[in-house]
Amino acid sequence: MTAISRRLRNFALVSLAGATTLVVLLAIYFHWLSVRELERLGVDQHKVLARTLSGTLDHHVSPLLRAVAGLTRDELRRSSEVLHLRHHLAESLKEMRVVRIKIYNPDGLTVFSTDPSQIGEKHGHNPGFVAAMGGSTAGKLIYRDTFNSTDGVIENRNLLETYISMPTLDNGAPKGVFELYSDVTPLLHQIDRTRNHVVIGAIAISLTVFSVLFFIYKKTDAALEREQAESMHYLGEIERAREMLEERVEERTQRLAESEQRFRDVIDSVIDALIVSDANGKIEMLNPAAETLFGYAAHELHGKSINVLMPEIYRSEHDDHVARYVKTGHAQIIGQVGREVEGMRKDGTVFPLELSVGELRHGEERKFVGVMRDLSVRKDTERELEATRQQSFHSEKMAAVGQLAAGIIHEVGNPVAAISGAIDSIRRQQASSPGATAAVTDADAESVDIIASQINRLADLTREISEFAAPPTPERRLLDLNQLVRSGVNLLRFDPRWRDIMVQLSLDHNIPAIHGSADQLTQVLFNLLMNAADACENLPDRKPSIDVSTFPENGQVCMTVADNGCGMDDDVEAHAFDPFFSTKAPGKGIGLGLGLCRNLIEEHGGNCDIETRAGAGTTIQVCLPVDGGAEESVS
C-alpha cells in the first residue's frame, strides 16, 4: 500500500468519523433544545391555566382553604368543598392534557387532589412548593412507569410537573400553591420523529459533501504524488549535496581544531603569563603560566574583571585608562612594552611584574592581550647586588676610616706619651727632693694627679680605637663574648648621644668561649647598639635605657640587646630584616643594619630573633654555637 492510498484511507476515515460525530452532536443538541422549549411552553401554559382556575374557581378554592382547619384527613376528603371542586375541575379540564391537579395551603398541606388518596398529605419541605411560595415557578419533565390521573392509571408516560403560586393574600404571601401535571408523551414522540428527520437530512448532506471532498482530495492526492516524486528526486540531490558539504565541513572543522590546538599549545608553552580580555576588561582566556603566576585556576577567572589581578590602588585607574582609550583612542598603557607595574596573587600577595599590552581587533570586536613576566627574582637579585655593593662600599669606607683613625692615633699618641713622661718626671723629682716637697702645695699635687688620670684615660681611648680600626682579620678564633661586649660598650660611651642613655650590662661569667670573627661580631654589636640608641631618642615619659646581657641557652651562647624605646608595629617587624628597609630619617641609615647582622650571625651558624611591641621597646636576641673544643669558661 503506497503512501498516497494511506492518505486517502486516513482522509476517508477521519471525514466519516467527523461527519458521524457532527450528526450525533446535532441530534443531541436538537433534542435538548426541543425538550427545553417544550418545557418552557408547558410551564407557560400551566401558568395561564393556574390563573384561569384561580379566577373561575376561587369561590370554591377559598372556602376549601378556610375549611381545612380542624378537619381530619378523612373529613377533608369527604367535605362538600372538595366534592364540588372535583366536579367543576372535571368539567373545566375536558379536552386538556392535564392529568392531575393538587392544591396546597400555605402550610404545605394537600387540601385537594384529583387523586383522593393524596388529600391531607404534608409537603411543606417539597422544593417545588418552597419555590412557589417564594414567588417563583418551578417546572420540570419527569417520567413515571405508572401514574394516577383523572381518567385512571396511565403507564410509561412523560409528564411536565409545575408548582405555581395562587394570588397573594392581603399580607403579600400566596394563599396556596397549584401542582399541575400534563402528559407530554405525544409531544416528545413528535420531537423524536422530527429529530430523526433532521438526522437523516444531515447524513444525506454529509454524504454529499464527503463525496465531493473525496473526489477533490483524490485529484489533489494524485497531483501531490507527482510533486512528491519530484520532491524525492530533488531531496536526493540535496542529500548528496549535504553529505558532500558535511564532509567538507568536517574536514575544515578538523583542520580548524588542529590549528586551534596548535595555537593553544603555543600559548600554553609560552613561559610568560598571557591574558586575553574584552573591551570591558572581562577575562576570556589565560595560559597556564598566568594561572601559576597569580595562583588562580582558569575557570576561576573566566568572565571576571582583570581588576582582580591588581592591587586596590590601581583598579579604578585601570578602568579609567581603558574607558578613555575606547572612547578617545588615546593610549597610555596599551601598546607599551616592558612597563613595570604591580600585580596581586590570589592570596593577596603584591609582586612586581613587567607588562606589555597589545590590542586585537576582529571586525567591530575589540580585545586586549596582556603579556606579563614576574620580576620578583630580578628585583631580589637587584636588591642583593645593591646590598653587596653597599656592604662593600661600607667595608671600604670603614677601612679608610680605620687608616685615618690609625694616623690620628699615632699623631695623638706622641703628645700623650710626652705629657705622661713629664708627669712621671715631676713625680720622681718630688720623691727624690724631700726638701722641695714643701714648696709643692696640695692643690698642685692634686692637679698633677688629675692630669695623670686624664692622660691614662686618653691613652686607653686611643688604644681601643686603634684596636677597633685595625685591619679586619677574617679568620675565626676562640673569642670571649663578654670582653667583646665590654669593649664595644666602652667605646660607644664617648659618643655624645649616649650621655643621656643608661646602659646596663648583665654578663654571665660562666659562658663558654665561642668560635668566630671578632670584627664581624663587633660590627653586629655596634649595629644593634646604634639601632637601640636611635629607638630611644625623644622619649617623652621615661629615661632611655639599654640592657645588654649574655647567657648560655640550649648549648648556645646568647646575647640580648633590649631597649625601652619606641618599638615596632607588626608591619615594621615583618620587614625589619629586609635590605634597604629603614624607618629612620634620610641621612641616618640606609636599611642594611639588621639584614647585615642576620647574615653575619647565620654565617656563624647562629640565629637572630626580634621581640618587640609598639611603644614598649624592642629586644633582639643573638644566639651563637659553642665551639666543641673550648670547655673552659671565660670571665
Q: So what's the pLDDT on residue 391?
A: 63
Enumerate the H helices of 311-375 as residue ranges: 312-328
Enumerate the H helices of 112-184 as residue ranges: 127-133
Q: CB 36: neighbour CB atoms within 10 A? A: 11
**Residue 150 CA: distances (Å) to CA of 89, 94, 102, 579:** 10, 10, 11, 131
Q: Which residues, 6+ apart, have CB-to-CB distance to 379 below 8 Å?
A: 352
Helix or strand (DSSP H, E) at 48: helix 3-56
Spatial strand order of the sheet with 273-278 comes to 283-286, 273-278, 365-374, 350-362, 339-344
Compute the mean pLDDT over every residue in the chain, rounded to the nearest whole number: 78
**Residue 4 CA: distances (Å) to CA of 13, 232, 425, 547:** 14, 14, 151, 114
Query: pLDDT confidence of 628, banded at 50, 70, 90?
Result: very low
What gap in Å lies between CA 26 and CA 396, rounded to an integer?
Answer: 122
Give the residue from 106, 95, 30, 9 showing the smallest Cα distance to 61.
106
pLDDT at 557 over 90: yes
What DSSP designation does 173 have? S
What gap in Å lies between CA 127 and CA 163, rounded to an integer?
Answer: 9
Task: At 205, list the grid cell.
Answer: 448532506
Q: So what's the pLDDT on residue 153?
A: 72
pLDDT at 140 over 80: yes
Of residues 477 and 406, more confidently modeled: 477
User: pTM to 2 decimals?
Assistant: 0.35
Query: pLDDT confidence of 623, banded at 50, 70, 90?
Result: very high
Q: So what's the pLDDT on residue 561?
A: 93
pLDDT tens digit string along 254-283?
888 888 888 777 777 778 888 888 878 888
Task: At 144, list the grid cell.
Answer: 413515571
What gap in Å lies between CA 433 and CA 132, rounded to an integer?
Answer: 170
Query: pLDDT confidence of 437, banded at 50, 70, 90?
Result: very low
Give the residue from 375, 381, 380, 382 showing the smallest Cα distance to 273.
375
